[in-house]
Amino acid sequence: MENELQVRDRLIISQFIEALPEAVIVIDAADRVVAVNAPARVLFPVLRPDDLLARSLRAPDVLDAVKRVRATGAPERVTWLERVPVERFFELHAASMEGQHFEPTMILTLRDLSEVRRVERMRVDFVANASHELRTPLASLLGFIETLQGSAREDAKARAKFLSIMREQAQRMARLVNDLLSLSRIEQNLHLRPQAAVDIVAILRHIADTLAPMASDNDVSLKLDVPGNAIVTGDRDELLRVAENLVENAIKYGASDSRSSSRKVEISLAAKQRQCVLTVRDHGPGIAPEHLPRLTERFYRVDPGQSRAKGGTGLGLAIVKHIVARHRGRLGIESKLGEGTTFSVSLPLYGD
């Protein structure tokens, strides 16, 4: 038959593409699958030799491209989105192969670009979010500067008031820039596990002392329950940052309702099978389950107005997540509406 490839040719093609790292499908002149290599079988498990391409790959753009390549002989590149079972974005390169020794065939090379696209989207969103966060305090600063240069030039009382607001706005921008820089520094070193021996008990005592004034301003009692000592493998400054962010959040958000029983934040540490588990628990309003998976995303806040009013940048938990990942630790969040929230961080003990 004219369009059929010889058995020997099929075997050679199969073995040849099986050695390639990219997902490759070869079809014959009648659009039947001649061979599929392992990476392509992973992407499209339904693809079987001898099937019609159109039966297993229901992407009209791909089939059109195949037709065009067949008509013109020129290679084509198409991208398409698969929605089922999960959303995936693919790129396909189609090129025909005709020679004296082969029946006409076409080589389809596939790439799953879903991850690349997701990262690109995250990058775009991140830049948009960061600019948006900086724009508000910047606009407010510019507004006050203009007022001070104009109508309020000679008004000492207004000047003092405006300068104090301007200071607050500038501090907000400084906090944001500092958090952005920390995040990028931690991300750059994500693959490097910190190696120092760090006294985590000393860190927790230090944080409880430093945050005592904030706790008392918020009418919160801090309870510390730690063993005599515990040494973990890590980076002291980064672990300080983790404890500080979690305890600060517990004070800021956990004690935001008025019941006196809820105005307590417990910091505890326990050693469990070569791991050390730090727990920060509040008895505040809690977080609804739909927010929990997104809480550690950059700039994700349950209540953006409340977060900004409390001086939040929306980056604290993203920083915590990255530091914990760098330490090869685990971050857990449990919360019940009306009962409170518990953040736990498990870290490897030193020597493991």
Kindly list the residues in this chain that would bind ligand ADP in the complex (CB under 6 A): 245, 249-250, 253-254, 282, 284, 287, 295, 301-303, 307, 312-318, 341
Of 114 and 129, nearer to ligand ADP (C-beta) is 129
Of 105 and 307, nearer to ligand ADP (C-beta) is 307
Using DSSP's 3-state secondary structure scheme, residue 247 falls into helix
* Least distance between ligand ADP and beta carbon 174 (Å): 14
Tokens matching residue 46: 């339904």
Tokens matching residue 193: 């596990």
Report how far Cα 153 is from the mean position of its chain's Cα atoms. 47
Of 259 and 274, nearer to ligand ADP (C-beta) is 259
* Least distance between ligand ADP and beta carbon 227 (Å): 24
* Least distance between ligand ADP and beta carbon 102 (Å): 59
**What count of other Cβ atoms lies within 10 Å of the Cβ of residue 104?**
17
* Least distance between ligand ADP and beta carbon 329 (Å): 17
* Least distance between ligand ADP and beta carbon 223 (Å): 15
Bridging pattern class, strands 105-112 and 23-28: antiparallel
Of 109 and 245, nearer to ligand ADP (C-beta) is 245
Of 10 and 322, nearer to ligand ADP (C-beta) is 322
Of 23 and 246, nearer to ligand ADP (C-beta) is 246
Nearest-CA neighbor of 222 among 282, 174, 152? Answer: 282
* Least distance between ligand ADP and beta carbon 140 (Å): 19
Nearest-CA neighbor of 92 among 53, 123, 131? Answer: 53
Residue 349 phi/psi, 5° resolution?
-70, 155
* Least distance between ligand ADP and beta carbon 346 (Å): 18
Of 182 and 341, nearer to ligand ADP (C-beta) is 341
Backbone dihedral region for residue 182 (phi beyond 0: left; psi -120 to 50: alpha; all else: beta): alpha
**What count of other Cβ atoms lies within 10 Å of the Cβ of residue 65?**
20
In angstroms, rounded to a whole number, what is the distance separating the alpha carbons of residues 146 and 167? Answer: 15
Q: Is the dihedral of CA 65, 70, 76, 77 positive or negative?
A: positive
